[in-house]
Amino acid sequence: MRKENLLDKRIVVNEQLVDWKLIDQEVVFLHNKEKVFYELNRTATYIWLKANGKKPIREIIKGLITKFLINKDKAKKDTIEFISGAIKNKIFLLV
C-alpha cells in the first residue's frame, strides 16, 4: 500500500491476536501466536493507544508531533514504518 493512501486509513489493535496492558505509561503486549512479549516505547505507546479506529493515521502523526515535539518528517517516517510493520504482522487491522 502506498504511504499516502495509508495516511488516510484508520487502524485498530487486533485484540484476537494480542493481549496488552499499559504499565508505567508504556504498553506491553503479548503476541498470542508467537508467544513473545513486546514492550513499546513512549511514542509507540501513543500510537497504540490512538489505534482505536477513531482517527486516521495522519491525525495520529499530528498528535505525536505536538506531544513529543519531534521533527515532522522523522515522525512521519517512523510512524509509517511502525504501523505498516504491525499491519503486516496483523497486530493492527485497517478499518
Partner 1 sequence: MAPPLRNIVFHIVKGCNLKCKVCYGLFWSDKKQLMNFQIYKKSIDEAYSLGLQSIRLSGYGEPSLHPELKKMILYAKNKKLYIRIYTNLLMHRDLLWFVINNADLLSVHVNAFSKNLFLESQVRADEAASKSFELFARNIAEIRNTKNLDLIFVINNRNILDLHKVVYFCLNTKMRLQVNIPIVKNNAVKYICFSSEELKEIKRELIGLYIKTCHARRYDLAFQIKKVLFAEKEEVEEGKSVLIKKEKPKRCPTPQYSCYIGPYGDVYPLAPYQEMAPLGNISKTPLYDMWNSADLASIRDEMWFNFDINKWKICKNCPFDRINNKFIVQRSRRRAKTGQ
**Backbone φ, ψ for residue 24 (5° rounding):** 50, 45
Nearer to partner 1, 8 or 19 (CB): 19
Closest distance of CB 80 from partner 1, Å: 27
Distance between alpha carbon 14 and the CA centroid of its chain, in Å? 11
Residues 59/83, Cβ–Cβ less than 8 Å? no
Nearer to partner 1, 22 or 70 (CB): 22
The set of cell numbers assigned to 54 is 477513531
Residues 56/33, Cβ–Cβ less than 8 Å? no
Nearer to partner 1, 9 or 31 (CB): 31
Enumerate binding residues for partner 1 (CB under 8 A): 15, 19-21, 23, 28-30, 35, 37, 39
Closest distance of CB 20 from partner 1, Å: 7
* Exposure of 62 in the CB half-sphere (CA atoms within 13 A): 7
Nearer to partner 1, 32 or 71 (CB): 32
Closest distance of CB 51 from partner 1, Å: 17
